Amino acid sequence: MSEAVETQDQDAEVGGIAADRLRSIIERVERLEEERKALADDIKDIFAEAKSAGFEVKVIRQIIRIRKQEPAEVEEQETLLDLYRRALGM
């Protein structure tokens, strides 16, 4: 009976690594990667829908990026952009 317990302990911990814990972590990451791919596919479909509706996808991506920023940061960038345009006579 003690041999069976030793075999279970060896299966659960190999080289100081808890195999069950490691397997659990790897499986959770794999599941999340699958979810991320599914979400990326959904986002791609939404952009395709926007394009087919006549929207400019490049501009939509730009708006999304801007909305993630702090208002002060956006204002600073817009001010600099305006300054640079005026400096170039645009």
- The answer to whether residues 66 and 88 belong to one domain is yes
- The answer to whether residues 44 and 63 belong to one domain is no
The per-residue pLDDT for range 40-51, each reduced to its tens digit, is 999 999 999 999
**What is the domain count for the chain?**
2
Beta bridge partners of 58: none
- The answer to whether residues 81 and 48 belong to one domain is no
Task: Give me the pLDDT at residue 29, please.
Answer: 98
Residue 15 backbone dihedrals phi, psi, to 5 degrees: 60, 30
**What is the C-alpha separation between 38 and 27, in angstroms, rounded?**
17
The per-residue pLDDT for range 4-30, each reduced to its tens digit, is 555 555 556 777 788 999 999 999 999
What is the residue range of 80's domain? 56-90
